[in-house]
């Protein structure tokens, strides 16, 4: 009679419980377990399956540029990386407080890798994440305005708990891009967290934003409640990884 029960569990989309029940049938000492113990095993398996599926969905929607995780961050190469700060960010408290992170450094210093690793950790902690290069983000907003879908896209961006914007401030913004960026940043201010990764020093952001009023407003919402990670040194791309899991970018 166990097979109809397993099929019913699958039909109810309780696949974790179905798998655990099948596995229990192969245990030699299964009959020694009490009903409560066997039920607990089924429920625990279902919870794990659902948690894993939810994480896979969050990572799929995040569209992280690299499959990076904090466990693979390289602390051996001297580049000014503060291990205690990374461990603090790994806890996720800054996300609950809606703070931001600024990752600065020269080309190849590992900014994108670190941003994606922090994003991966946030997704593992249950937060919604999205990775986007600034130019692509602004292009999407421009197209959405043409299609009359800008309001919907802005609402979607506002709901993302961690927005990673890579290649920040690389080119001077147009007037329309400044307005779009201001809306994105203002919607998220004190409601969600943002990571900016860039090789452009903060003192040059005013020039790339273009308008001093917009620049002051955008930076006020991003910089004052942000953790700063300032990387330095030679490009990580020139160093051959010691192991397959080592950081490359």
Q: What is the pLDDT of residues 215-247, one digit of tens each?
A: 999 999 999 999 999 998 766 665 545 444 456
| Average pLDDT value for residue range 91-96 | 97
Tell me if residue 217 falls in helix, strand or coil. helix
CATH 3.40.50.300 in the chain is located at: 63-238
What the block records as the tokens of 131 is 């990775």
Q: How confident is the model over 109-163, as pLDDT tens digits?
A: 999 999 999 999 999 999 999 999 999 999 999 999 999 999 999 999 999 999 9
What is the pLDDT at residue 78?
85
pTM as predicted? 0.86
Q: Does residue 249 carry a pLDDT above 70?
A: no
The DSSP string of 169-216 is T-SPPPHHHHHHHHHHHHHHTTTSEEEEEESS-GGGHHHHH--HHHHH
* Domain 63-238 class, CATH top level: alpha beta
Q: What is the DSSP letter of 81?
A: -
């Amino acid at each position: 009679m166990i097979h109809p029960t397993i099929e019913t569990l699958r039909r109810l989309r309780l696949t974790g419980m179905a798998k655990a029940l099948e596995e229990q049938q192969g245990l030699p000492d299964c009959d020694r377990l009490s009903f409560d113990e066997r039920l607990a095993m089924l429920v625990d398996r279902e919870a794990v399956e659902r948690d894993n599926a939810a994480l896979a969905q969050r990572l799929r929607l995040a569209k992280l540029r690299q499959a990076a995780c904090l466990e693979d961050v390289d602390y051996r190469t001297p580049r000014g990386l503060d291990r205690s700060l990374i461990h603090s960010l790994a806890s996720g408290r800054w996300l609950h407080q809606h703070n931001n992170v600024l990752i600065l450094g020269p080309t190849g210093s590992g900014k994108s890798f670190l941003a994606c690793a922090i994003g991966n950790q946030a997704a593992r902690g249950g937060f919604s994440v999205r990775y986007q290069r600034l130019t692509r983000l602004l292009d999407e907003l421009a197209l959405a305005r043409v299609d009359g879908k800008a309001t919907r896209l802005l609402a979607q961006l506002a709901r993302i708990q961690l927005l990673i914007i890579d290649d920040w401030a690389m080119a001077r913004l147009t007037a329309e891009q400044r307005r779009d960026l201001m809306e994105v940043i203002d919607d998220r201010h004190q409601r969600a967290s943002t990571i900016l990764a860039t090789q452009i020093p903060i003192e040059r952001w005013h020039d790339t934003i273009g308008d001093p009023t917009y620049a002051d407003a955008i930076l006020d919402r991003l910089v004052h409640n942000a953790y700063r990670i300032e990387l330095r040194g030679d490009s990580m791309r020139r160093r051959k990884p010691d192991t397959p899991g080592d950081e490359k970018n």
